[in-house]
Amino acid sequence: MGNESEIKQAAALLKQARSIGCLTGAGISAESGVATFRDALTGLWAHFDPQRLASQEGFAQDPGLVWRWYMERLQMVERAQPNPGHVALAQLEQWAPAFSLFTQNVDDLHERAGSRQIYHLHGSIARFRCNICAVEHPLQPAERDAPQPPACRHCGGPVRPAVVWFGELLPAAVLAAARHVASHCDLFLVVGTSGVVYPAAELPSLARRSGAMVIDVNPEPGPMADEADLFLQGPGGQILPDLLAAMRS
Ligand code: BV8
Ligand code: ZN
């Protein structure tokens, strides 16, 4: 990797950090075969606007289309395995005195990689609730192939994934925890996010304004790299294990 010296610098910063905040995006799951949010629209979904599908308006307009999109993405997540990037973050959590992981991802790959302190800023694709009364709805096997969303057993309303759609508020306690960690940590590690979706995208600049060092891991330079003190260019599945190895040497 062309950035050995940056890896060494980043490893030294991680080793001396007393508290670490971490924000991950779809990119950390890309190497597990879970398409990133924008790629998720390849193939069948290429001609739909992602912000329309992941919204109340999109769901109201065509609940069946949105339901099938989520059932397809759920299957992709269930077939996926955590990659070395997810595992490295779980190891970093074991190592660091204080480590909080905030993910924009709705998959459970961080959990399956062994991370413990995980906050889902945008909810989870594996949980479902009524769009009207919010009662939890355990997904039934037959509902996975249904053309339309199931009806809530409590009020008959349409069931939807327990994710945060565009225009919906993030879970207040999770967002408050993220802002607290970003404002108080020594080091803020950003992995695999394009940094375009707010309010999650504000966290690295909040951390930097509050005095933390910010490290961005991404194959592409982007808004997050501009916010970072150190930009490690490359895939998370490669860079993060290299970082852990450099910390041990
Ligand atoms: C809200 C769940 C208050 C659903 C998602 C302020 C300014 C501008 C706009 C707004 C603003 N405040 C609110 C908005 C509107 C909107 C927004 O931010 N719009 C953007 C598009 C401009 N925000 C909201 O609506 C939020 N709600 O603010 O509520 C409110 C209330 C009422 C009225 C107004 C405001 C809610 C946002 C949450 C939306 N839900 N997901 C689902 O998944 O179906 S967002 C979804 O997209 C993902 O969760 C993720 O967060 C986002 C995609 O971002 P990434 O994760 O970064 O993924 P992406 O594909 O973009 O990029 C992948 C990256 O990985 C790339 O950089 C790539 O280079 C990199 N990569 C690729 N391979 C690898 C890699 N990296 C490492 N390793 C690799 N191998
Ligand atoms: Zn209901």
Domains of the chain by residue range: 1-34+82-122+170-249, 35-79+127-163
Q: What's the mean pLDDT when you consider all of the chain?
A: 94
CATH topology of domain 1-34+82-122+170-249: Rossmann fold (3.40.50)
Would the CATH topology of 1-34+82-122+170-249 be identical to that of 35-79+127-163?
A: no
Ligand nearest to the CA of 33: 1
Centre of ligand 1 to C-alpha 197, Å, is: 3
pLDDT of residue 118: 97
CATH code reported for the domain at 35-79+127-163: 3.30.1600.10
Which one is predicted more confidently, 47 or 245?
245
CB 104 within 8 A of CB 197: yes
Catalytic residues: 122
* pLDDT at 206 > cutoff 70: yes
Does ligand 1 come within 6 angstroms of the Cβ of 167? yes
- The per-residue b/e assignment along 165-189, b for 16 or more CB within 10 angstroms, e otherwise, is beeeebbeebbebbbebbeebbbbb
- The per-residue b/e assignment along 16-51, b for 16 or more CB within 10 angstroms, e otherwise, is ebebbbbbbbbbbbbbbebbbbeebbeeebeebebe
Q: Which two tokens stand for residue 226?
A: 């501009």
pLDDT for 80-118, tens place per residue? 999 999 999 999 999 999 999 999 999 999 999 999 999
pLDDT of residue 3: 82
Ligand 1 atom 43 nearest Cα: 106
Most confident of 24-38, 161-175, 213-227: 161-175
Q: Which of 50, 62, 40, 47 is nearest to 148 (CA)?
A: 62
CB 118 within 8 A of CB 108: no
Does ligand 1 come within 6 angstroms of the Cβ of 38? yes
CA of 224: how far to CAs of 174, 175, 196, in Å? 21, 19, 9
Ligand 1 atom 9 nearest Cα: 198
Ligand nearest to the CA of 150: 2
CA of 94: how far to CAs of 20, 89, 120, in Å? 12, 9, 19
